[in-house]
Amino acid sequence: MNTRYLGKHKLAVSEIGLGCMGMSFGYGPAKDKSEMIPLLRSAVEKGVTFFDTAEVYGPYTNEELLGEALAPFKGKVTIATKFGFNFENGKMVGVNSRPETIRKAAEGCLKRLKVESLDLFYQHRVDPNVPIEDVAGTVQELIKEGKVKHFGLSEAGAGTIRRANSVQSVTALQSEYSLWTRKHEKEIMPVVEELGIGWVAYSPLGKGYLTGKMDKSTTFEAGDLRTILPRYTTDAMEANKALLNILQAYAKMKNATPAQVALAWVMAQKPWIVPIPGTTKLHRLEENLVAAEISITKDELQEIENASAKINIIGERYPEQIEKATGL
């Protein structure tokens, strides 16, 4: 697998990473560790060097999983994690990016991931009660102390990115990006490109929808976040099939799957965008990684653009109260 570089500091990562949240959190019950550890190690063997986690995933258990699974590959893989929440009784209860909270989070992440320095440390969500300059300054101190290597932001707005970057260079922005979630292209992506910041695209497969494996009869387990997402209502999934039709047409043309075309589309947008599709199944991991071999020409990109521009995506990506909390 080829390498892509995030930010002006050129953090080298595999061109497709692995989002690990679903192994422990967000998509129903946590998966069995005895199955996830071999999956994570298989990813490394197949060329993946970039893994994404966060203290809130579990909470804590996803970092512990990666710490155990990736210990044999220390120095050969990049692990990104995130801070920025309060926890009570084992549950997340709101944002908190006060300097003392960031420091406490960093110490916990280091222990759980079994590393001496955090490769990429994101603010998970903007905290409206803490100036972003204070957040960036605290991470800068951690970098000087050798506890963190690179600073990142997640779902931050253009102004926030500029302010943070003026204090401590931001290596990467992690925000949702796919053929059906493009709201960041107009205002945020140009700022990221101007400042030389990499983009880590989470949910590049639309939380599973763009694989083409779901329809109006699909049901989700208790605890699956998609049960509350507007785009995953029966009506929305049926209405948004028009976008799937485009992916399926190009998949047939390229002897690929819709998921592979969706990932190839994300990668074709900019050389500094790295998608991090998540999975808990080896055959899906293998399917996703083949996307790195699929080429989409400029003419094909324009054809996809023209066709998708005619489609009105039904449903917001998050409920209103969650969308407001993204800090955009």
Can you give the three-state secondary structure of 49-93, one letter per residue?
CEEECCCCCCCCHHHHHHHHHCHHHCCCCEEEEEECEEEECCEEE
Count of residues making up the chain: 328
In 10 A of CB 38, how many CB atoms?
12
The model's pLDDT over 97-155, given as tens digits with 9 standing for 90+, comes to 999 999 999 999 999 999 999 999 999 999 999 999 999 999 999 999 999 999 999 99
Domain 3-207+269-294 in this protein, CATH class: alpha beta
- The catalytic residues are 57
* Nearest by Cα to 123 from 107, 138, 145: 138
- Name the token pair of 317: 């990506």
Q: How many Å apart are CA 48 and CA 199, to the nearest integer? A: 17
- Name the token pair of 270: 């900019």
Q: How confident is the model at residue 324 (pLDDT cuts 50, 70, 90)?
A: confident
Q: Ramachandran region of residue 37, left (φ > 0), alpha (ψ -120 to 50) or beta?
A: alpha
The model's pLDDT over 270-289, given as tens digits with 9 standing for 90+, comes to 999 999 999 999 999 999 99
Q: How many Å apart are CA 118 and CA 303, to the nearest integer? A: 41
The model's pLDDT over 217-260, given as tens digits with 9 standing for 90+, comes to 899 999 999 999 999 999 999 999 999 999 999 999 999 999 99
Tokens 């796919």 label which residue?
Answer: 178
The model's pLDDT over 32-64, given as tens digits with 9 standing for 90+, comes to 999 999 999 999 999 999 999 999 999 999 999
Strand, coil or helix: 167: helix
Q: How many Å apart are CA 246 and CA 262, to the nearest integer? A: 10
Q: How many Å apart are CA 1 and CA 263, to the nearest integer? A: 14
- Name the token pair of 87: 């926890």
Tokens 């903007």 label which residue?
Answer: 126
